Structure 1
Amino acid sequence: MGLHDWPGRELSDEELDVAYNVRRKAGEELFGELMVRYRADSDKAVEGLPGSPGILYDEPSGERLDVWGTGDDGPRPVLVFVHGGYWKALSRADSAFMARMLHEQGVATVVPDYTLAPAATLEEIVRQVRASVAWIWRHGREHGLDPNRIVVAGSSAGGHLTGMTMVDGWQGEFGLPVDVVKAAMPFSGLFDLRPLTRVYVNEWLGLDVARAAALSPALVAGARRCPAVIAVAENDGSGFARQSRLFHERWGGELLVVPGRDHFDVVLDLGDPDSSVSRKLLGLVHSV
Structure 2
Amino acid sequence: MRVSTRSYGNHPSQFAHLWLPDSPAATPAPVAVLLHGGWWRDRHGLQLMDPLAEDLVSAGWAVWNVEYRRTGTDGGGWPQTRDDVARALRYLDSAAAGLGISGARWGGRAVVIGHSAGGHLAMLTRGTTPLATCVVALAPVTDLERSAREGLGEGAVAPFLGPAPAPELYRASSPIAALPVGIPELLVHGDADQRVPVEHSRDYVAAARACPDTVDYYEIPGADHFAVIDPAHAAWNRVRTWLDTGTRDGVPDPLASRQPRQRP
Task: Please classify the TM superposition score into its range, dividing by the shorter chain length.
Answer: 0.7 to 0.9
TM-superposed deviation, 1:274: 7.9
Distance 2:187 2:245 in 1: 13
1:86 aligns with 2:46: no
Judge conservation of contact 1:75–1:141 (CA < 8 Å) in 2.
no
1:202 aligns with 2:164: no
1:281 aligns with 2:235: no
Judge conservation of contact 1:269–1:278 (CA < 8 Å) in 2.
no
The counterpart of 1:264, out of the listed 223, 226, 243, is: 226
Q: CA RMSD in A?
A: 2.6
TM-superposed deviation, 1:147: 5.2
- Residue of structure 2 in register with 1:227 after alignment: 184
SS class of match (2:245) = helix
1:77 aligns with 2:37: no
* Structure 2 CA distance for partners of 1:83 and 1:252, relative to 1, 3 Å: same
Distance 1:162 1:138 in 2: 19
Matches within 5 A, 1:99-248: 99-118=53-72, 119-145=75-101, 146=106, 148-166=108-126, 168=127, 170-171=128-129, 179-198=130-149, 199=151, 200-205=155-160, 206=162, 208=165, 209-222=167-180, 224-237=181-194, 239-248=196-205
TM-superposed deviation, 1:265: 2.0
Between Structure 1 and Structure 2, the one with more helix by share is: 1
SS class of match (1:97) = helix
- Residue of structure 2 in register with 1:26 after alignment: none
TM-superposed deviation, 1:51: 3.1
Distance 1:91 1:216 in 2: 22
- Residue of structure 2 in register with 1:44 after alignment: none
Distance 2:178 2:204 in 1: 11
Query: What number of residue pairs does the alignment pair up?
Result: 227
More displaced, 258-267 or 197-206? 197-206
Distance 1:274 1:232 in 2: 11
* Structure 2 CA distance for partners of 1:241 and 1:220, relative to 1, 3 Å: same
**1:237-280 per-position Cα deviation (integer Å, ceiling 9, x unaligned):** 38531221222221431011122311122211378898223222
Gaps of 5+ in 2: 248-263
SS class of match (2:197) = helix
User: What is the TM-score of this pair, normalised by structure 2?
Assistant: 0.77
More displaced, 87-96 or 203-212? 203-212
Judge conservation of contact 2:114–2:138 (CA < 8 Å) in 1.
yes
Paired amino acid for 1:242: E
**1:186-222 per-position Cα deviation (integer Å, ceiling 9, x unaligned):** 0011112112333222342225132121111111235
Judge conservation of contact 1:230–1:254 (CA < 8 Å) in 2.
yes
Higher relative contact order (CA 8 A, sep 6+): 1
Distance 1:225 1:143 in 2: 29
- Residue of structure 2 in register with 1:176 after alignment: none
TM-superposed deviation, 1:62: 5.4
* Structure 2 CA distance for partners of 1:184 and 1:274, relative to 1, 3 Å: closer
Paired amino acid for 2:45: S
Identity in percent: 21
User: What is the TM-score of this pair, normalised by structure 1?
Assistant: 0.71
Distance 2:116 2:82 in 1: 14
Judge conservation of contact 2:188–2:235 (CA < 8 Å) in 1.
no
SS class of match (1:98) = helix
Runs of 4+ in 1 over 3 A off after TM superposition: 59-62, 237-240, 270-274
